[in-house]
Chain A
Amino acid sequence: MSLETIKVSPGFEKYLPKEYQDLVDDGPFVKQRKVSEMGSFKEAIEEHPMCAGCAMTLFIRLTYVALPSLENSVIVGTAGCGRLAISQGAVPFIYGNYGDTNAVASGLKRGLDIRFPNQEKDVVVMAGDGGLADIGFHAVMHSWFRNEKFTTIMLDNEVYGNTGGQESGMTQKGTVMKMAPLGKKGEKMDMIALAKTSGVAYIARVAPTNPTRVANTIRKAVLIAREVGPTYIQAYTSCNIEYAIPTPLVMDDAREVEADRYGFTEYFTDEAKSYWDNTGRKIKGTVKK
């Protein structure tokens, strides 16, 4: 979408909400914004109904800043806490059935490629750990095996947050949660290893402790997905409600968990590495084909 498409015809400015005008005049479209600029421009997302202090919200906000071509992005989500915020963003958002994200995104991306052969449309899946590792598992894995060119971001709060705190496949072993009254029996699923096995081009594990790093990771994942193949980001986004983390201590928790077991790691296939080193990293600003 070009900025021209959304510009208000002269004389009609006063009839459109200020919010819309701001998005056009000083929004996140067409020029890539930086994390350091946050607070000084109109962001794609502002209001949302998520719990106060929820780390997931911060991560989602950073995603909107980081996407390399917001005006050509479509976000695919599913049931879970995240979509409460994502559906408020100024970017088309698809909300299908629980767990269908990666199959929907496969059809969507292929459809957009047919309709826009000369323009890059970025498809980004953003969903919870339950949505991707449990109910949507097979669709996630097969989108990777098929080499579908879009990015999958797991908002890993290690619990079914939206339905009130049940264990998920991404919950740590031994944790007592609803539906695991004696503590979770199995290990936390190793989705990173599974992504490697499935041939995912770029994989990153990240906690929201360093916003610039988060933004760079997302940008990298989206650009590599365009050119090389599927990319996967697994983000620790704690659920302060279900894990009883006092709101002021959410970032302390993130730092602790990061130091303990969720340190930043990235992995490239050879092809992705070569693309990134030779081309991707040199691209500046917002990117269109």
Chain B
Amino acid sequence: MSDVVEKKVEEAHPRGDDPRTDVITEKVSQEEIEEEKKGAAAQKVVDPDYLFLKAPREKQFITGSEAAKEAIRRANVDIAIAYPITPQSETMQQVGYLYAEGYVKDYYRAEEEIGVMSAIAGASRAGVRCLTATSGPGLMRGIEQIQAWPGGRLPSVLLVMCRVINAPLAIQPDNIEISFLLNSGGVVLHGENQQDFYDYALAAFMIGEKAEVTLPVAVAVDGFFVTHARGWVSTPAENMKLPPRECYHEAVPMMDNENPPIRISRDAPIQKSNFISYQMHASWQQEVWAAQERSRKWIDRWLGGLVEVVNPKAKTMIVASGGAVSQAREAVRQSTEQGLDVGLIKVKSIRPFPTQELIEGLDHAEKIIIPEFNYVGWLAKEVKSVIPRVERVVSGPRVFGGMSMPTELIMEKITGEYK
């Protein structure tokens, strides 16, 4: 019997003799073996189109962290690197359990976030599928590395569970940190609820690893509101997983010393003060942003577009991303009840930004309301930077520091009646 057990463990963990994976080499009971067979070992690789769009789904009432876990379970992740921070910790703990069950090949708690993001940069260069997650101050600490991932052409998935970043220190939801991701070159998706967290996180791996993209993808949601609250999430069966990362089909060679020619310095220091260096750096940056643009096609295909539009012809349009979309939906419902003509554009992808979709979708609008969970109004700035006749934009409402957003605040903007 022990033969069977040993073998299972080896399959799940290629480095079975390693102290890092010792924990699961203990003897397990027959029941647990059955369980294991149902788990990772029994998963079948399926086509992403099938997993994302066609596979039959069942509904579960789960938290955002659990939704992320279900995505990772099906993502065929090679290495996940964790570091605790509220409200993210729960998710990477769940991923730890997936590792213990053999769904993830390697997993560890790193020294802190610069260490995490650097190790992700190393693992991605090795050609394996990588995952990490963080929140607020953790994102800020890791950001030197995160900013360098797109230029390194390093596919990986970063889950961001938004939390206050500025002093005074707090753990409450506030999505100001997303504004720090906008100029890195990587793809940035912003989910509304638990369902989005599942769908976006899973699709993120495939989007980032597409040859013409070869970029990291950040998937952000509002902390607590999404991560710790339950919602209905429909997922396909557990016995399917994505195909593994095909690192030789990407835009740059792997740093595995398997690629001729022998002299590879993909990260060559371009620091000479001469025109060729400037030109190299400039064209490299242009290519990163062009690659980001090329991710549109996959966001369209797998996530149904960069935006979702409700009541497209309405005179008053709300534009929102993340959790604010849910309050905006409620405002649209209440407005309809009151006979007001209000519509909504949900922005799913912040990078690439749905420039054309917004220009067209807002062309007819007389009034544009942009509710946000942050003080600075980064989404309003983004929208104003691409649409004509910006005087149509009504600032806010904005809540921050962890406050929730009563629908009344949006209704006041719609009616212009302030209580």
Interface residues on B, range: 35 or more
Set of chain A residues within 8 Å of B264, measured between Cβ atoms: 92-93
Instruction: Give the residue name and chain of the A residue nearest to B109 (CB).
Output: A146
What is the CA–CA distance of A70 and B139 in the complex, to the nearest angstrom? 37
B263, A97: Cβ atoms closer than 8 Å: no
Contact (A94, B118) CB under 8 Å given A107-B130, A108-B123, A142-B110: no
A90, B122: Cβ atoms closer than 8 Å: no
A87 contacts chain B at the CB level, 8 A cutoff: yes
Set of chain B residues within 8 Å of A27, measured between Cβ atoms: 262
A90, B262: Cβ atoms closer than 8 Å: yes
B120 contacts chain A at the CB level, 8 A cutoff: yes
B127, A110: Cβ atoms closer than 8 Å: no
Q: Which residues 115-155 in B have Cβ within 8 Å of A in the complex?
A: 115-116, 118-128, 130, 144-145, 148, 152
A237 contacts chain B at the CB level, 8 A cutoff: no
What is the CA–CA distance of A20 and B78 in the complex, to the nearest angstrom? 34
A96, B118: Cβ atoms closer than 8 Å: yes
Give a binary string over A95-124; 1 marks a CB under 8 Å from any B CB, 0 the rest.
Answer: 111001001111111111111110001000
What is the CA–CA distance of A27 and B122 in the complex, to the nearest angstrom? 27
B122, A106: Cβ atoms closer than 8 Å: yes
What distance in Å separates the Cβ of B176 from its nearest Cβ neighbour in chain A? 24
Which of B19, B111, B127, B268 counts the most A-chain CB atoms under 10 A from its CB?
A: B111
Taking a contact as CB atoms closer than 8 A, the residue among A6, A103, A108, A113 that contacts B125 in the complex is A108
Set of chain B residues within 8 Å of A254, measured between Cβ atoms: none
A113, B15: Cβ atoms closer than 8 Å: yes
B144, A5: Cβ atoms closer than 8 Å: no
A76 contacts chain B at the CB level, 8 A cutoff: yes
Set of chain B residues within 8 Å of A103, measured between Cβ atoms: 110-111, 114-116, 118-119, 122
B148, A107: Cβ atoms closer than 8 Å: no
Set of chain B residues within 8 Å of A139, measured between Cβ atoms: 111, 114-115, 118
A35 contacts chain B at the CB level, 8 A cutoff: no
A114, B114: Cβ atoms closer than 8 Å: no
Set of chain A residues within 8 Å of B417, measured between Cβ atoms: none
What distance in Å separates the Cβ of A145 from its nearest Cβ neighbour in chain B? 8
Instruction: Give the residue name and chain of the B residue nearest to A110 (CB).
Output: B106
Set of chain A residues within 8 Å of B106, measured between Cβ atoms: 110, 113-114
Which of A90, A107, A121 counts the most B-chain CB atoms under 10 A from its CB?
A: A107
B-contacting residues of A (Cβ < 8 Å)? 1, 5-6, 20, 23-24, 27, 29, 71-74, 76, 83-84, 87-97, 100, 103-117, 121, 138-139, 142, 146-147
A92, B148: Cβ atoms closer than 8 Å: no
A111, B122: Cβ atoms closer than 8 Å: yes
Show 6 residue pairs from A and B whose CB-CB distance is below 8 angstroms, ordered by the A residue.
A20-B261, A104-B122, A107-B119, A111-B122, A111-B127, A114-B105
Contact (A138, B111) CB under 8 Å given A94-B255, A104-B122, A110-B106: yes
Set of chain A residues within 8 Å of B128, measured between Cβ atoms: 111, 114-115
What distance in Å separates the Cβ of A243 from its nearest Cβ neighbour in chain B? 23
B260, A73: Cβ atoms closer than 8 Å: no
Taking a contact as CB atoms closer than 8 A, the residue among A29, A95, A106 that contacts B269 in the complex is A95
Q: Which residues 280-304 in B have Cβ within 8 Å of A in the complex?
A: none
- 5 additional contacts (CB under 8 A) given A106-B119, A107-B120: A23-B263, A94-B122, A104-B122, A107-B119, A111-B126
What distance in Å separates the Cβ of A229 from its nearest Cβ neighbour in chain B? 10
B269, A108: Cβ atoms closer than 8 Å: no
Contact (A29, B262) CB under 8 Å given A87-B268, A103-B119, A106-B122: yes
B58 contacts chain A at the CB level, 8 A cutoff: no
Contact (A121, B256) CB under 8 Å given A92-B264, A94-B122, A107-B130: yes
In the A-B complex, the 4 residue pairs with the smallest Cβ-Cβ separation, listed nearest first, are A111-B126, A107-B122, A107-B119, A103-B118
Set of chain A residues within 8 Å of B255, measured between Cβ atoms: 74, 92, 94, 108
Set of chain B residues within 8 Å of A92, measured between Cβ atoms: 255-257, 259, 264-266
What is the CA–CA distance of A104 and B255 in the complex, to the nearest angstrom? 12
Give a binary string over B79-104; 1 marks a CB under 8 Å from any A CB, 0 the rest.
Answer: 10100000000000000000000000
B388 contacts chain A at the CB level, 8 A cutoff: no
Instruction: Give the residue name and chain of the B residue nearest to A72 (CB).
Output: B257
Set of chain A residues within 8 Å of B20, measured between Cβ atoms: 146
What is the CA–CA distance of A24 and B263 in the complex, to the nearest angstrom? 11
B269, A87: Cβ atoms closer than 8 Å: yes
A97, B148: Cβ atoms closer than 8 Å: yes
What distance in Å separates the Cβ of A51 from its nearest Cβ neighbour in chain B? 15
B112 contacts chain A at the CB level, 8 A cutoff: yes
A97, B118: Cβ atoms closer than 8 Å: yes
Instruction: Give the residue name and chain of the A residue nearest to B108 (CB).
Output: A146
Instruction: Give the residue name and chain of the A residue nearest to B258 (CB).
Output: A1
